[in-house]
Amino acid sequence: MKYIIQTSNLDFQYSKNKKILNNLSINVPKGSIYGFLGPNGAGKSTTMRLLTGIIPDDSNSIFLFEKPIESQIPAVFEKVGALVESPALYLHLSGYDNVKYIALLRQVPLSKIDEVLELVDLTAHKRQKAKQYSLGMKQRLAIAMALLSEPELLFLDEPVNGLDPNGIVEIRKLLVKINKEKGVTIFVSSHLLSEIEKMCTHIGIISKGVLKYEGTMEDLSRKFETCKIQITLDDAESWKEKLSSKYANVALEEQNKITMNLNHTSEIPDFAKEIIQEGARIYEIKILEGLEEWFMNLTEN
């Protein structure tokens, strides 16, 4: 497998007393959408700044395209697009002219402008001033600017931060489209776990500067063998007592909802059949185990 980003035992600290990153080794496969997750203060933004060259890597621990980043600057940025923190736009200019400004700076043919605006679904608004754009449109415009030079690798730091639900869905669909149609590897940091779960092929979870997990979503689900479910049924308090003698972590959540653990999702059909035969009136069984549960487990323990 080819890795488009690798760090090898990366350490970083702003001062002697506080280490931000500790022995961080990440491996981002070519062609993946890699979600980089962690609580506030975990070291996500510092990692992003190091990977994009904003902070110099004096230790030669960072490799892009299988070569040390420091040996490739500035040429490597012809193959890289980045949106770190909030988009830097000229609000008095139109969407088209914002992209044109970057095209001229990077010596990209102006014919590419309409292509990237079409990709991010802003063609109909290209003559509109950026100050009239919604936050989601500004994010899409910034992504268009990052895509101008047809990068192989795209860095996005909290790209859906502050967006409403519709804006979040638009950005998610856009990133999946860019990945599938253009083959762009995407490294995205975020604290919105539900979006990462729907979008990413691989994830890395960091806490206090230490990598707690790296791999595919499927591998992560196998790491946690138990299956947490929520059951909605009549007379939940009575059923809590009955189930507690046989199953683990049975708890009454609301008047008619119970949460509990099974060993695996494959046990759900037999479990449901068994308690229905015993007289349970079930309205819903929902699997609760997912990225949010696994994230909390890894970062808190």
CA 138 to CA 116: how far, in whole Å? 14
pTM for the whole structure: 0.77
| Closest C-alpha to 22, from 9, 37, 5, 35 | 9
Entry field: residues in the chain: 301
For 244, the domain range is 224-300
pLDDT per residue of the chain (301 residues) written in tens, 0 to 9: 799 999 999 999 988 888 899 999 999 999 999 999 888 888 998 999 999 988 988 889 999 999 999 888 888 988 999 988 777 899 999 999 999 999 999 899 999 999 999 989 999 999 999 999 998 899 899 999 999 989 999 999 888 877 888 888 888 898 999 999 999 999 998 877 777 878 899 999 898 899 988 988 777 766 665 678 889 999 998 999 899 988 878 999 888 999 888 877 778 899 999 999 999 999 999 887 666 666 666 666 5
- 204 and 239 in one domain? no
Last residue of a domain, one of 182, 216, 250: 216
- 287 and 180 in one domain? no
Last residue of a domain, one of 189, 216, 243: 216
- 230 and 209 in one domain? no
- 107 and 72 in one domain? yes
Last residue of a domain, one of 169, 190, 216: 216
Contact 94, 86 (CB under 8 A): no
DSSP string, 276-294: HHTT--EEEEEE--SHHHH
Say whether the peptide bond before residue 56 is cis (omega within 30 degrees of 0).
no
- 152 and 135 in one domain? yes
Beta bridge partners of 204: 36, 214
Give the dihedral of Cα atoms 274, 275, 277, 279; nearest 10 deg. 170
Which CATH number does the domain housing residue 78 bear?
Answer: 3.40.50.300
CA 145 to CA 11: how far, in whole Å? 31
- For the stretch 159-168, pLDDT in tens is 887 788 888 8
